[in-house]
């Protein structure tokens, strides 16, 4: 495999990162209202959230992707490949993040709500100052694990022509049959190289937060 080959596959890194980050940000944001609906007292909102979460989690990511890109995208709406990948993975992420938030919310001692309310804190402060920072802390390790999974899932964007790592590796291996092993091994190594600092960063952040409260 030539340097040019390596370079070509490495050009996929920005797109892999963009799809992963875009989908995660979208999902982390949409997960908040979805979780709020799930824990809401309204039966309708709760039911809707449960249905959405089940649908988003049961259908394979690649089917969502095709549904958006070929289904919705070919009809009324023009959807680009990158947008389709970000939205498809982002929606699935929203369902998973909603469940992660909900678990974290349940792990908050009920006395925290009691104390915030007994002090007469405004609702906004109760959430922003008291509950959310604690939920965030509990969420951090699961979110980090999820991002690493998402990074790998972003490879399905290659199926609709997003020029990320897997797409370029595939493209190159078709031109250089006998090099396929090296090319895909290199692609795999790139995924490892991206995951490692992500995992380290998450551990560092988690450790920092823990160390701070133990002061």
Residues near other proteins, by CB under 8 A? 109, 111-112, 114-115, 117-123, 125, 129-130, 133-134, 137, 212-215
CA angle 16, 57, 204 (to 5 degrees): 50
Minimal distance, residue 116 CB to other proteins, in Å: 8
Minimal distance, residue 25 CB to other proteins, in Å: 24
Under 8 Å between Cβ of 110 and 134: no
- When the beta carbons of 50 and 115 are compared against other proteins, the nearer one is 115
- When the beta carbons of 9 and 202 are compared against other proteins, the nearer one is 202
Task: Name the one residue in this structure whose structure tokens are 């823990």.
Answer: 210
- When the beta carbons of 134 and 195 are compared against other proteins, the nearer one is 134
- When the beta carbons of 119 and 200 are compared against other proteins, the nearer one is 119
Minimal distance, residue 114 CB to other proteins, in Å: 6
145 phi/psi in degrees, rounded to 5? -60, -40
Under 8 Å between Cβ of 157 and 164: yes
State both tokens at 51. Answer: 């249905």
**What are the angstrom distances between the C-alpha of 20 and each of 120, 135, 157?**
41, 23, 10
Minimal distance, residue 132 CB to other proteins, in Å: 10
């Amino acid at each position: 495999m030539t340097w040019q080959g390596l370079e070509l596959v490495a050009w996929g890194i920005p797109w892999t990162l963009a799809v992963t980050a875009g989908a995660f940000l979208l999902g982390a944001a949409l997960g908040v209202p979805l979780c709020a609906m799930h824990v809401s007292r309204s039966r309708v909102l709760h039911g809707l959230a449960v249905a959405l979460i089940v649908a988003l989690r049961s259908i394979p990511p690649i089917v969502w992707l095709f549904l958006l890109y070929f289904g919705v995208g070919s009809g009324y709406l023009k959807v680009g490949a990158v947008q389709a990948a970000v939205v498809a993975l982002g929606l699935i992420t929203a369902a998973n993040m909603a469940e992660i938030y909900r678990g974290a919310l349940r792990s908050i001692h009920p006395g925290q709500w009691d104390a915030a309310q007994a002090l007469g804190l405004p609702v906004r402060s109760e959430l922003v100052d008291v509950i959310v920072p604690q939920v965030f802390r509990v969420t951090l390790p699961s979110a980090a694990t999820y991002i690493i999974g998402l990074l790998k899932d972003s490879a399905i964007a290659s199926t609709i022509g997003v020029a990320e790592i897997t797409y370029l590796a595939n493209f190159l291996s078709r031109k250089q049959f006998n090099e396929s092993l090296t090319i895909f091994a290199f692609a795999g190594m790139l995924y490892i190289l991206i995951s490692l600092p992500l995992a380290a960063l998450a551990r560092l952040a988690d450790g920092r937060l823990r160390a701070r409260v133990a002061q």
